[in-house]
């Protein structure tokens, strides 16, 4: 029970110290895409957005767009941000504990995953706004956990799903 309290403190600390925002950086393209998939007609005649919508290689933004028909987009993005951060930290803990048979190692793994850190691809681990990278990070951790537990077939299954969310992250997973 104490471990879960520590995980909640790490999660709260991660979000409170790193912050959350929306509408920055890639959201300049992703929010119009999500609004288009939500049925908003503001971008229906924009050739850049409509062409990108037909070729954007992720299921994440279309799914979020459709879900935003029922939940306001800013609320939905924040809730997904928190849920995926909690999933990242929880999976990080389980992965660290699985690999080192130690709760403290699991907590340190979770804490390190909760810090905004550039990766070798100059993407951000635990960014301050929601992108498909947050779901990809969760799926990568599921893949690594499956491998650490000797469940190779399941690791490949989750990696296959990952390609549909974020192809670049899935390609990096092949190097692991």
Residue 119: the pLDDT is 55
Mean per-residue pLDDT for 62-83? 93
Higher pLDDT, 25 or 85: 85
Q: How far out from the chain centre does Cα 42 lie?
A: 27
The 3-state DSSP class for residue 152 equals helix
Confidence band (pLDDT; 50, 70, 90) for 148?
very high
Mean per-residue pLDDT for 86-110? 92
Mean per-residue pLDDT for 16-44? 81
pLDDT at 108 over 80: yes
**Which of 13-27, 70-84, 127-141 shows the highest mean pLDDT?**
70-84
Percent of all residues in the chain with a pLDDT value above 70, rounded to a whole number: 90
The 3-state DSSP class for residue 84 equals helix
Mean per-residue pLDDT for 143-148? 92
Mean per-residue pLDDT for 5-19? 84
What CA dihedral angle connects 20, 59, 172 and 154, to 10 degrees?
110
- From the list 132, 35, 147, the residue with the least C-alpha distance to 91 is 147
Neighbours of 113 (CB within 10 A): 23
Partners of residue 117 on adjacent β-strands = 125
Mean per-residue pLDDT for 123-144? 79
pLDDT at 151 over 90: yes
The 3-state DSSP class for residue 124 equals strand
| Cβ-contact 98, 149 below 8 angstroms | yes
pLDDT digits (tens, 9 = 90+) for 110-129: 888 887 665 555 555 567 77
pLDDT at 145 over 90: yes
What whole-number distance in Å separates Cα of residue 61 and Cα of residue 35? 9
* Mean pLDDT of all residues belonging to the chain: 84
Residue 126: the pLDDT is 60
What whole-number distance in Å separates Cα of residue 65 and Cα of residue 39? 8
Q: What are phi and psi of 154, to 5 degrees?
A: -65, -35
Residue 44: the pLDDT is 80
Residue 54: the pLDDT is 82
What whole-number distance in Å separates Cα of residue 101 and Cα of residue 80? 30
Burial call 140-154: b when 16+ CB within 10 Å, e when fewer = bbbbbbbbbeeeeee
């Amino acid at each position: 029970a104490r471990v879960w309290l520590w995980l909640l403190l790490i999660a709260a600390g991660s979000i409170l110290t790193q912050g959350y925002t929306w509408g920055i950086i890639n959201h300049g393209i992703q929010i119009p895409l999500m609004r288009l998939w939500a049925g908003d007609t503001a971008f229906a005649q924009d050739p850049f957005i409509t062409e990108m919508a037909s070729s954007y290689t992720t299921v994440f933004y279309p799914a979020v767009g459709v879900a935003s028909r029922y939940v306001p987009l800013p609320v939905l993005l924040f809730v997904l941000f928190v849920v995926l951060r909690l999933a990242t930290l929880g999976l990080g803990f389980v992965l660290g504990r699985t690999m080192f048979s130690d709760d403290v190692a699991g907590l340190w793994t979770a804490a390190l995953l909760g810090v905004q850190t550039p990766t070798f691809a100059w993407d951000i681990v635990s960014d301050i706004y929601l992108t498909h990278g947050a779901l990809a990070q969760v799926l990568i951790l599921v893949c690594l956990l499956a491998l650490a537990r000797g469940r190779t077939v399941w690791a490949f299954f989750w990696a296959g799903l990952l390609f549909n969310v974020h192809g670049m992250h899935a390609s990096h997973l092949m190097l692991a």
